[in-house]
Amino acid sequence: MGRGHPRRFYFASSFVLLVSLLVTFYVWRYAEQGTGALLVGLVSGALLWGILYSLVLFLAKEMTKRLRRSEEKLRRITDAIPGTVYQYRLESNGRQSFLFVSRGAKDLFGVSAEDLERDFQSGWNLLLTEDVPALQKSIRISAETLKPWVHEFRIKTPAGRIKWIRGSSVPERPLKDGSIVWNGLFVDITDRQHLERRVIQSEKMAAVGQLASGVAHEINNPLGVILGFAQTAAKHVSPGNLLEMPLRSIEREALRCKDLVQNLLAFSRAGKTEQEPCNLNEVVETALSLVAAQTKVKKVELVKKLHPCLPTVFANKTQLQQVVINLSNNAVDAMPNGGRLTILTQWTVWDDKEAVEIQVQDTGAGIPKEIQPRIFEPFFTTKEASKGTGLGLALAYEIVEKHGGYMTVDSEPGKGSIFRVCLPVKEIGR
């Protein structure tokens, strides 16, 4: 059927040309025979022109129908492709636009294909600010070299979700006006990014865990001796003695080292989990009772939003309490001038399965974007040496990983941070 249309078009075009010649011939012929004959010729010509006009309308409608069928066929094909098929245009004056976007854009970006085609900025505004310069540079290089464009970047959907997007496209030769058109595909690689980061983090944790265990055991015994002698000596020194302050300093620093050793041992044992059915809200309540005093001292308002009907999860209660305590302590430390600490529990969906989520939200200083990828690394800290070891978040991350869950952070400098802990409901311990 498709091949018949060109033949039909050429035939119709030839027929239109023939009719035009006949009209011209009749009018000219009757014009030579007088006024009456001319009138007949004009009427005949008008009839022939009417036929010609009807034929042109018919052809136009046929071509329009065919074009619509082709567009609909293209839409069906592109809609069946995972991701978003698009055609992007960059004009010589820097103006950008989408000439075509498949309907997969709604699921991927949270913005309809029609809106993206009508208003390019509705899509561009979803980009995370810190990812824009690298994206612009990659487009410029592709435009200058006419080589395929491939780039990974992040967006924040209208619903507030952060996604990793991989874009790939092939540029066409520049048009006469200097503009360039790319034909390509956007796909969601958020899950892949999370998986890769989890694998890398797990490898780091395993290596550091072995190191931490060895170091902690080697330090523990001599540290106990130092602490014991310092405490004993301090008891036998009278108040005001010149040795009192140095001995108290030794005792204080030895106790701090002892806490560090305990953290190292806890970190190395994070994988050893004895799981049992537990109520997540009870775990959170117990943990918060241990940090409540600190929140009062730091003038931090503690807000609890615990879902009343959460499912039972299989977990190690003590370790999950440690996660909540570590995250809460970090949140309080981020608000030296007071603020609000919100703990939230809720149902959620993870990989199309039921899960539960703990959120620890603060109104503190936030975390700079450039260091966010490193905050779960062991021994990484922005605190003073006397206030942090860099193991709190690493230990919490390791515990959550060993429970089959994941932890993420969403933070903006000056606006605070949200740490999310997601735990699957059915798979744990089964």
For residue 1, the model assigns a pLDDT of 43
Residues 249 and 338 in one domain: no
Single out the residue in 79, 110, 138 at which a domain terminates: 79
Residues 235 and 294 in one domain: no
- 123 vs 106: CA distance, rounded Å: 11
Instruction: Provide, for the chain, the percentages of residues in helix, strand and coil under a 3-state DSSP scheme, each rounded to the nearest 5.
Output: 55, 20, 25
Q: How many domains does the chain have?
A: 4
Backbone angle region of 207, left / alpha / beta, with phi > 0 → left and psi within -120 to 50 → alpha: alpha
SS (H, E, C) 31-67: HCCCHHHHHHHHHHHHHHHHHHHHHHHHHHHHHHHHH
Instruction: Please check whether residue 337 is in contact with residue 365, taking contact to mean a CB–CB distance below 8 angstroms.
Output: no
Residues 265 and 395 in one domain: no
Residues 285 and 165 in one domain: no
Residues 150 and 40 in one domain: no
Other C-beta atoms lying within 10 Å of the C-beta of residue 279 = 13
Domain limits at 262?
195-269
Beta strands in 244-390 (DSSP E): 276-278, 300-306, 313-315, 339-350, 353-362
Q: Provide the pairing of β-strand 276-278 with 313-315.
A: antiparallel
Beta bridge partners of 410: 418
Residues 69 and 171 in one domain: no
Cβ neighbors of 234 (< 8 A, separation 6 or more) are: 244, 247, 248, 251
Residues 174 and 94 in one domain: yes
Q: Provide the pairing of β-strand 339-350 with 406-412.
A: unpaired
Other C-beta atoms lying within 10 Å of the C-beta of residue 261 = 19
Residues 423 and 347 in one domain: yes
For residue 289, the model assigns a pLDDT of 87
For residue 4, the model assigns a pLDDT of 46
Single out the residue in 79, 94, 119 at which a domain terminates: 79
For residue 212, the model assigns a pLDDT of 64
Q: What is the mean pLDDT of the chain?
A: 80
Residues 428 and 285 in one domain: yes
Torsion of CA 366, 369, 370, 373, to 10 degrees: 90
Burial environment of residue 340 by CB neighbours within 10 A (0 to 12, 13 to 18, 19 or more): middle
Q: Percentage of the chain with pLDDT > 90?
A: 30
Q: What is the pLDDT of residues 203-234, one digit of tens each?
A: 666 666 666 667 666 777 788 888 888 888 88
Query: What is residue 373's DSSP assignment?
Result: G
CATH number reported for the structural domain that contains residue 209 in this entry:
1.10.287.130
For residue 327, the model assigns a pLDDT of 93
Residues 362 and 395 in one domain: yes
Single out the residue in 79, 111, 137 at which a domain terminates: 79
Residues 277 and 425 in one domain: yes
Q: What is the pLDDT of residues 297-323, one digit of tens each?
A: 889 999 999 998 888 888 888 788 889
- Average pLDDT per run of 10 along the chain, which is 430 residues long? 49 55 57 51 57 70 76 69 90 93 90 93 93 94 95 90 92 90 93 75 65 70 82 83 84 77 63 76 89 87 92 85 89 91 89 85 88 76 59 82 86 90 68
Query: Residue 86 half-sphere exposure, CB side, CA atoms within 13 Å?
Result: 27
Residues 427 and 282 in one domain: yes
- The pTM of this model reads 0.49
CATH number reported for the structural domain that contains residue 361 in this entry:
3.30.565.10
Q: In terms of Cα–Cα distance, which of 246, 186, 191, 255 is closest to 223?
A: 255
